[in-house]
Amino acid sequence: MVRAVVTSYRGRFLYALLDEDGFQELRLFRESSLLGRIVLGRVEKQIKNIGSGFVRLSPDSCGFLDGGDVKAETVLPVQIVKEGRGDKKHGVSKKLSLFGRYCAVLYAGKPSGKLLFSGRLQPEEKNKLRESFLATFGESNLSPRYDVLLRTNAARVDFSEVVGEIKKLSDKMDSILLVQDKRTDYSLLYEPPAELIRELYRIDLNAPLEIRTDLPEEYERIKKEFLEGLPEELKNRVSITLYQDELLSLFHFEGLEAEIKRALDRRVWLKSGGSIVIEQTEALVSIDVNTARIDKKKEKEDTILFVNLEAAREAARQIRLRNLSGIIIIDFINMDRKEDEERLIRELRLAIEKDSVKTSFIELTKLGLAELTRKREGSTLSEMIREACPEEK
């Protein structure tokens, strides 16, 4: 059973995802967001030496286009991939993405027809989906016009549902690209679903899902925009409850205050008595694993392995919970036995597979340093909290 909790916190929507191992995700959303919008922008300035530029999105807002080889005064559709705050400009991209429940349709400047898969899909699921895809669209033209990314829930429904969504999103991308020459500067070409709905799309419905909220408007939105479009085989796995208790708020009933506090602490205690210490810098995220004192020599290696395995699971959970990204280094306790290192790698790989954001294991060095990379998607939890609560810096 997986549970999604939707409530309010400091003028924001608070979204939490829990499973049998506890909290897995904590996110804060504004009531309205620019993320995912596709706008017809005009390039104001080209930065030739780094292949970037500044794109005017409206009379009073500008975006930074990183890695986009563009010329000044060019008018082009761009997607907002990072919202600017204060003096920081929005991050925008020429690569356009339209996400649905089961797939995403991607356009990077020209049609290429690649078939891509979510990292959470198992090899046998990918093979089955690939066969269905080829049987539908043919091998000579893998995608009608664009790259297609099949998401986790594509494996949970009849493939006809996926085909319908691919065609719908492809048609939408067609209209965005065709209409750009007929629209004025700063026109809004695409408005994505609300952030909350997009987060619900990420949940793997292989297990039953309970959604609990104390916000009547969001309760109705979820029913209309998330539940109503589900096929029966998935709809039967989802329940939604409008929580109403004047004496105990949903925020306190779910223990969210304590969990947020723990998720902002540097040190996280493990049940074994050890701990992990998380440090965020601009260059990378470092996670240091510490163990309690070990008195008996014969138990040393087994205890170190036990602590490292627990730390691997907890580090993966904290990375997802805090929405950390970029290069992540985990400094495990050194182990002498090769089989213990191999077991640790397997445990870490299994733990990061649960993450809906692309996370890759690179290597485990001889010094016990594990290197991971995680795609950046949105702000970290600490950034979200600081924005909602400026006084809590």
Q: Are 274 and 291 a contacting pair, CB within 8 Å?
A: yes
pLDDT given for residue 257 in this prediction:
94
The answer to whether the Cα torsion of 251, 252, 253, 257 is positive or negative is positive
pLDDT given for residue 260 in this prediction:
94
Comparing 282 with 275, the larger pLDDT belongs to 275
- Give a three-class secondary structure readout of 76-121: EEEEEEECCCCCCCEEEECCEEEECCCEEEEECCCCCCCEEECCCC
Please compute the mean of the pLDDT values over residues 220-230 and round it to a whole number.
Answer: 94
pLDDT given for residue 186 in this prediction:
93
Report percent pLDDT > 90 for the chain.
70
pLDDT given for residue 48 in this prediction:
79
What is the rounded average pLDDT for all residues in the chain? 90
Please compute the mean of the pLDDT values over residues 295-307 and round it to a whole number.
Answer: 76
Rounded Cα distance, 319 and 279, in Å:
11
What is the signed CA dihedral for 326, 386, 98, 78, rounded to 10 degrees? -90
pTM of the model: 0.88
Residue 32's pLDDT band (boundaries 50, 70, 90)? Answer: confident
Rounded Cα distance, 202 and 329, in Å:
26
pLDDT given for residue 51 in this prediction:
75
CB within 8 Å of 79: residues ≥ 6 apart? 36, 37, 38, 39, 92, 93, 95, 96, 97, 190
Evaluate if residue 390 carries a pLDDT over 70. Answer: no
The answer to whether the Cα torsion of 191, 197, 203, 205 is positive or negative is negative
pLDDT in tens, 176-200: 999 888 899 999 999 999 999 999 9
pLDDT given for residue 293 in this prediction:
61
Comparing 72 with 221, the larger pLDDT belongs to 221
pLDDT in tens, 115-162: 999 988 999 999 999 999 989 887 655 455 799 999 999 999 999 999
For 282, 293, 315, the CA distances from 93, given in Å and listed in that order, are 22, 50, 31
pLDDT in tens, 75-124: 999 999 988 876 788 999 999 999 999 999 999 887 777 899 998 899 99
CB within 8 Å of 297: residues ≥ 6 apart? none
